[in-house]
Amino acid sequence: MHNIQLTNTQGGVIMRTRIFHAIAFSAALLTTTSLSVIAKDADIDSSTASSSQQTIQINQASAEEIADALEGVGMNKAQAIVDYRNMYGPFTSLATLEAVKGIGVKTVEANSAKIAFDVPIKK
């Protein structure tokens, strides 16, 4: 750290100016860093909210879309859903999803608000 002496001479004015600039720079740096962290947190919150509220047309979606939209469903289970749909036709209810290997009652219940059908739903 530098030894700072404030005097009324011209050198003292320069030293005070340097101190002021250092303090102003530090304050600006801290403010910018804080705003950057706040902005990143806001981006994370908004992306989490949008992905958790996403609705998916289960009879039209690709395996990638299904894996991205549904909780507890990775690529293998998503591909099993697509394969089942291709083999047996469109899903008509939440219960018909349970026929897919690896998709159980808990998975269907956890995602029921996110799953949409493009055919009439049978209850």
Same domain, 32 and 78: no
Q: Considering the domain boundaries, does residue 2 fall inside one?
A: no
Same domain, 110 and 60: yes
Same domain, 81 and 102: yes
Same domain, 63 and 20: no
Same domain, 79 and 106: yes
Same domain, 49 and 60: no
Q: Considering the domain boundaries, does residue 123 fall inside one?
A: no
Whole-structure pTM value: 0.55
Split into its structural domains, the chain has a count of 2
Q: Considering the domain boundaries, does residue 121 fall inside one?
A: no
Is the predicted pLDDT of residue 6 greater than 60, yes or no? Answer: no
Q: What is the domain-level CATH number for residue 99? A: 1.10.150.280
- Tell me what the pLDDT averaged over the chain comes to: 77
Same domain, 47 and 60: no
Q: Give me the helices (H) in 1-123, please.
A: 10-52, 63-69, 75-88, 94-97, 105-111
Q: Each residue of 33-80: pLDDT tens digit? A: 555 556 555 555 444 444 456 789 999 999 999 999 999 999 999 999
The SS3 assignment for 53 reads coil
Instruction: Give dist(CA 83, CA 81) in Å, integer.
Output: 6
Domain that holds residue 34: 7-53
